[in-house]
């Protein structure tokens, strides 16, 4: 039964993230405008014991867009919707709370103790069976919710994650930090079992989670990417951002610039390339990708006169991949690499550090760029913007980046075949 479940096209999960930010705003806005064409490959008819209910559910999907499950404080989501409606924002969408407890979702082997954000989740985790019935319960709950929604109105399916204190738009509160982190725990557990086909994350505020005492591996919370990496028991993942113009993968991510050279090691570069190759093949369908690589130093070191990292660290690793038949360049000057000539001939660019790659990328599509975590056993995409506290609850937000992240996740899911961990 589980085998049939993960081979079906499961729904996409969106974490709404920081409740005082714009996460709920953009989800409501997107869901009200979701196109029906995205709906056809979600929950299979075969998974419902009631053919009439199943047919109605499929019709609901076709009419109203892809069924999306979101994690949010249900009461706060309703309140934010009412605020936006009062401002004339088109977000008239039915909100259907799924009849699921956290114990229905969190299982004892899906996340390590030091990644669980809430002690109550750890207590629940020991009580949850990991057999096929949980997948059936989750799917049946979705089928029931689908059948109950008005066929003429878009519907959003919500896993309720109650906040610890009242949510005020634009005013983050560290007391709600564990609620935000709990959304990530839920997302990881659902995705690691292939109960959802992908995770799409709306923004959170790292500082709020740090102030709220949320930890990753005993240290301060450092971000979505690091959370999912550690929850999966991994030492390395790759951050890649993509838009209509280019894809850029990073060797290093959120490091102070003075620490970057020390992080440019042969092992780090080789791991980055290996993860990138595997993910491009298995999640993007690019069997023989062409990869261009930025040097670290100006002019890619100018034959050692402007730095030696290219000569002694970067190029030897790239040459080893070339000898294996990989279509990858040696280190190239970054100041001319992001030109139309090169972009037209490659599938992805590897940059050595954050701003080297993301400044040119975001100048060619900010607001339509998708953040993708490569190397996880499941699909995770994200928006390319932050919490925008000043825009929360004002009706002035754009859901375009979220729409791009959802579309990218769905595209990747068409290539990716995942079995439960």
Q: pLDDT per position in the chain (421 positions), as tens? A: 233 333 345 789 999 999 999 999 999 999 887 643 333 333 333 333 333 333 333 222 322 345 789 999 999 999 999 999 999 998 988 898 988 777 667 754 565 545 544 444 444 332 223 344 555 666 677 667 666 665 566 788 899 999 999 999 999 999 999 999 999 999 999 999 888 999 999 999 999 999 999 988 888 898 899 999 999 999 999 999 999 999 999 999 988 999 999 999 999 999 999 999 999 999 999 999 999 999 999 999 999 999 999 999 999 999 999 999 999 999 999 999 999 999 999 999 999 999 999 999 999 887 789 999 999 999 999 998 999 999 999 999 999 999 999 999 999 988 876 655 5
- Determine the Cα–Cα distance for residues 259 and 268; give it in Å rounded to an integer: 14
Using DSSP bridges, classify how beta strands 290-294 and 327-332 pair: parallel, antiparallel or unpaired: parallel
Residue 71 tokens read as 């994690």
Long-range contacts for 309-314 (Cβ within 8 Å, ≥24 apart)? 309/261, 309/264, 313/264, 313/265, 313/266, 313/269, 314/264, 314/269, 314/352
Three-class DSSP category at 245:
coil
Burial 134-160 (b: 16+ CB within 10 A, else e): bbeebbbbbbbbbbebeeeebbbbbbb
Residue 263 CA, chain-centre distance (Å), reads 25
- Determine the Cα–Cα distance for residues 290 and 283; give it in Å rounded to an integer: 16
Residue 362 tokens read as 């975001």
Q: Where does CATH 3.40.718.10 sit in the chain?
A: 1-234+376-421, 237-375
pLDDT (0 to 100) of residue 238: 97
Domain 1-234+376-421 grouped into CATH 3.40.718.10: yes
Phi then psi for 365, rounded to 5 degrees? Answer: 140, 35
Which CATH number applies to 237-375?
3.40.718.10
pTM over 0.75: yes
């Amino acid at each position: 039964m589980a085998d049939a479940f993960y081979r079906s096209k499961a729904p996409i999960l969106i974490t709404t993230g920081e409740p005082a930010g714009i996460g709920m705003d953009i989800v409501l806005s997107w869901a009200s405008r979701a196109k029906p064409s995205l709906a056809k490959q979600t929950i299979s008819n075969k998974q419902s014991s009631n053919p009439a209910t199943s047919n109605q559910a499929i019709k609901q999907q076709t009419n109203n867009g892809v069924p999306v499950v979101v994690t949010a404080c249900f009461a706060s989501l309703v309140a934010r919707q009412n605020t936006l409606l009062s401002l004339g924002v088109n977000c008239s969408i039915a909100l259907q709370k799924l009849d699921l407890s956290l114990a229905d979702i969190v299982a004892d082997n899906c996340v390590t103790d030091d990644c669980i954000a809430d002690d109550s989740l750890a207590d629940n985790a020991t009580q949850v069976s990991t057999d096929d019935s949980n997948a059936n319960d989750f799917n049946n709950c979705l089928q029931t919710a689908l059948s109950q929604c008005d066929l003429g109105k878009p519907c959003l399916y919500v896993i309720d994650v109650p906040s610890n204190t009242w949510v005020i738009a634009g005013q983050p509160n560290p007391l709600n930090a564990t609620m935000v982190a709990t959304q990530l725990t839920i997302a990881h557990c659902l995705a690691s079992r292939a109960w959802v086909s992908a995770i799409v994350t709306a923004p959170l505020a790292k500082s709020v989670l740090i102030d709220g005492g949320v930890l990753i591996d005993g240290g301060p919370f450092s971000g979505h990417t690091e959370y999912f990496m550690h929850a999966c028991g991994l030492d390395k993942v790759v951050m890649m951002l993509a838009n209509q113009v280019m894809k850029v993968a990073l060797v290093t991510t959120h490091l102070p610039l003075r620490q970057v050279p020390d992080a440019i090691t042969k092992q780090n570069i080789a791991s980055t390339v290996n993860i990138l190759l595997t993910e491009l093949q298995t999640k993007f369908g690019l069997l023989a990708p062409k990869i261009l690589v930025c040097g670290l130093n100006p002019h890619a070191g100018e034959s050692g006169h402007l730095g030696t990292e290219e000569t002694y660290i970067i190029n030897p690793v790239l040459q080893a991949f070339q000898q294996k038949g990989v279509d990858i360049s040696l280190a190239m000057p970054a100041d001319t690499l992001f030109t139309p000539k090169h972009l037209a001939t490659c599938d992805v660019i590897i940059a050595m550090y954050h701003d080297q790659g993301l400044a040119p990328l975001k100048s060619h599509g900010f607001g339509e760029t998708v953040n993708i975590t490569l190397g996880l056993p499941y699909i995770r995409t994200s928006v390319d913007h932050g919490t925008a506290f000043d825009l929360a609850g004002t009706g002035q937000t754009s859901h375009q980046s979220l729409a791009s992240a959802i579309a990218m996740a769905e595209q990747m899911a068409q290539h990716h075949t995942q079995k439960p961990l």
